[in-house]
Structure 1
Amino acid sequence: MIHHEFITLSLAQFGQILRIPYNGQTVFTNEWDLASLAYSQDTERPYHTDLPTPDDIRRFLQLERVELNRTIKSQNVTLTPNQILTKELRQDMKRWEELIRENVFGLGGHRDHLPTSLAHMLYCIIFEEQYSLAYFFVKQIECARATPNANLPYGMFLTRLF
């Protein structure tokens, strides 16, 4: 709903208007732990995706664990193997991470760790698999609408839609 008008589009129409991919892997989560991929997966067609395991993602991103313990808000926190820090990415993946983060995720969020959805996008790049950005955008907007104090993302795209 924009300016009290309901907009009803299929995912394909949404993707075509925005000129973004609407076919391919579909997954969305705001979590940081790679294990959350399994919980965010749609189990029924047309959006069912066979997802890689967290081990597969870590192995193909060729991560090097730099530290197990961190201090967050004055508390010592131990990272799980499924939580990835941005500095653990190899250099060529860091370029992709920056490009995707700025153009897909927006400027907000924690830049020191790799969100699970972004790790999955990088995995798709390595395997040259399509990733449905339209599905990701719709789920991100749904998530923002469900949180009363969240900013609605993708203002430029929504302006083009309207």
Structure 2
Amino acid sequence: MELVTEILGDISNLKVKDDSTTELSRILKEPHFQSLLEAHDMVASKCYEVPPPPELGNDAAVNSALMQADAVRMIGIRKKAGEPLGVTFRVEKDDLVIARILHGGMIDRQGLLHVGDIIKEVNGKDVGNNPTELQEMLKNCSGGITLKILPSYRDAPAPPQVK
């Protein structure tokens, strides 16, 4: 904002004002533009520290790093009663992980879930670690379904091209 004030002062001291300086002055005085700059200044003045990466051998540190608030994603999908999702699960370290996504299935078409994502909740209910119970829970759901997941952040291999 100090720079904007300085620029406005320089523009007002000009002997000859053309359309460009008038437009610049108008833009810099707009409340929305000034609010944007104030928000930028507030964010820019903060100090963001990145925590050190967890040790690879420490499972508890890895799990806590995965459970950070920014790592959890909420996914919303629409499903008709009885419609298969086209996804299978496996148990990995007491978590339900997406093992496979069937090509052309509902989950594949929506593109919101990926192999390796960990499913934590379905419609606010903890999923536990039984893949059969999760399949039944999802099979009985219809309409909007909200999934809480921990993304895998792994690059999925490109699907093979079938011609």
Shared fold, TM over 0.5: no
- TM-score, normalised via structure 1 length: 0.21
Rg larger in 1 or in 2? 2
More strand by share: 2
Structure with higher helix content: 1
